[in-house]
Amino acid sequence: MSADLIKEITEGLRKAIGDNSGLGARLKFDYEGQGQTLVDGKATPNTVSNDDGPADCTITISAENLMKMFRRELDPTAAFMQGKMKVTGDMGVAMRLGPILQKAGGG
CA-CA distances (angstroms) from residue 49 to 70, 75, 79? Answer: 18, 24, 24
| The predicted structure's pLDDT at residue 93 | 94
3-state DSSP assignment of residue 45: coil
Burial of 89 (0-12, 13-18, 19+ CB in 10 A): middle
Structural domain containing residue 25: 3-104
Range list of β-strands (E), the chain: 26-30, 36-40, 47-49, 57-61, 85-89
Tell me the mean pLDDT per 10 residues along the chain, length 107: 87 90 94 95 95 96 93 92 96 87 70
Residue 15, domain CATH:
3.30.1050.10
pTM reported for the whole predicted model: 0.90
Pairing of strands 26-30, 57-61: parallel
Backbone φ and ψ of 16, nearest 5° = -65, -35
Domain count, the chain: 1
